[in-house]
Structure 1
Amino acid sequence: MNESVSDYLYYAAWIMLFLIALGTASTDISIQQQAQHSMQEAATVDHRLFTTFGSVEEETYSGAEVLQSIQSIQNIRANIQAEGVTFQQTLDIDSTDVSMINLRKTYKVQYVRDASGTVTTIIFT
């Protein structure tokens, strides 16, 4: 009788271990699927759009930030208009006069987009 009870306990322990392993594997698979879904969603989100619960204030930039934007215009891939002058994305920054940009001024910004939503022109006023 002792052997049958010890065998029963032995098999019960193995069955419990097997069930725990199945439960852990199932949980791990669902966590992995959630992580993949989160990564895929993060990759497809348009980071230029956001939701806020506070009041939406006008976006402003300093003159130095405007100047920096003009300097990196080819990376931005949009035309920039400031102080009535339009800077094309194909400009040569070394031969461009940007002296009209007032570094102490605060500029408000407007974005001009095409039909697909891509920014084509940034207007600083």
Structure 2
Amino acid sequence: MNDTVEKSIIWVVEVFLFITACMFAISGINSQEAAVKVVKHSSEQDERRLYTDLKETGEETYTGAEVIESIYHIKQLDANIEIGRYYFFKSDDLDNIDVSGIDPQQNYKVNYIRDESGKLLTIVFS
């Protein structure tokens, strides 16, 4: 009789542990799914104010923080960036770029340099 009771208790504990593990797994999957949705929504809402087409936009100003962000998106912009005496090439390694000379609080005016076909070559912030 004691053997049957002992086996029953062990079986109940195993089932309880299995159900608990399943609940933790489902909770983890739901958390990961929520995180992926947040990242996707954030990247979809990410503002890209730099214009790479030929449309006339008038005078534009950007904060230093936006300028720094544009440097880290230089490969997607497919253009070199000039900021005062600093020049960043689209081929530069993003891990080794030094942006410490750019004041995030300063406002910059932007000009675009294009080739004869209209392709954007350089974005100049002054």
TM superposition score category, shorter chain reference: 0.5 to 0.7
Moved over 4 A (4+): none
Residue matched to 1:86: 87
Deviations 1:71-112 (A, max 9, x none): 000000000001311100011111111101100000000100
CA RMSD, Structure 1 to Structure 2 (Å): 1.9
Query: What is the aligned length?
Result: 75
Residue matched to 2:121: 120
2:55 corresponds, among 49, 53, 56, to: 49
Residue matched to 1:60: 61
1:18-37 matches, cutoff 5 A? none
Q: What is the identity, as a one-letter code, of the residue corresponding to 1:109?
A: V
Say whether the 8 Å CA contact 1:83–1:101 is kept in structure 2. no
**Separation of aligned partners in 2, 1:108 and 1:95:** 25
Q: What is the identity, as a one-letter code, of the residue corresponding to 2:55?
A: L
Residue matched to 2:15: none
Cα shift at 1:57: 5.0
TM-score (norm 2): 0.55
5+ long unaligned stretches in structure 1:
1-45, 51-55
**Separation of aligned partners in 2, 1:82 and 1:61:** 12
- The structure having more radius of gyration, on CA atoms, is 1
Residue 78 to residue 47, structure 1, CA distance change in 2 (3 Å): closer
TM-score (norm 1): 0.56
5+ long unaligned stretches in structure 2:
1-51
Cα shift at 1:47: 5.8
Q: Secondary structure at the match of 1:49?
A: coil
Say whether the 8 Å CA contact 2:54–2:118 is kept in structure 1. no
Residue 57 to residue 47, structure 1, CA distance change in 2 (3 Å): closer
Percent identical: 43
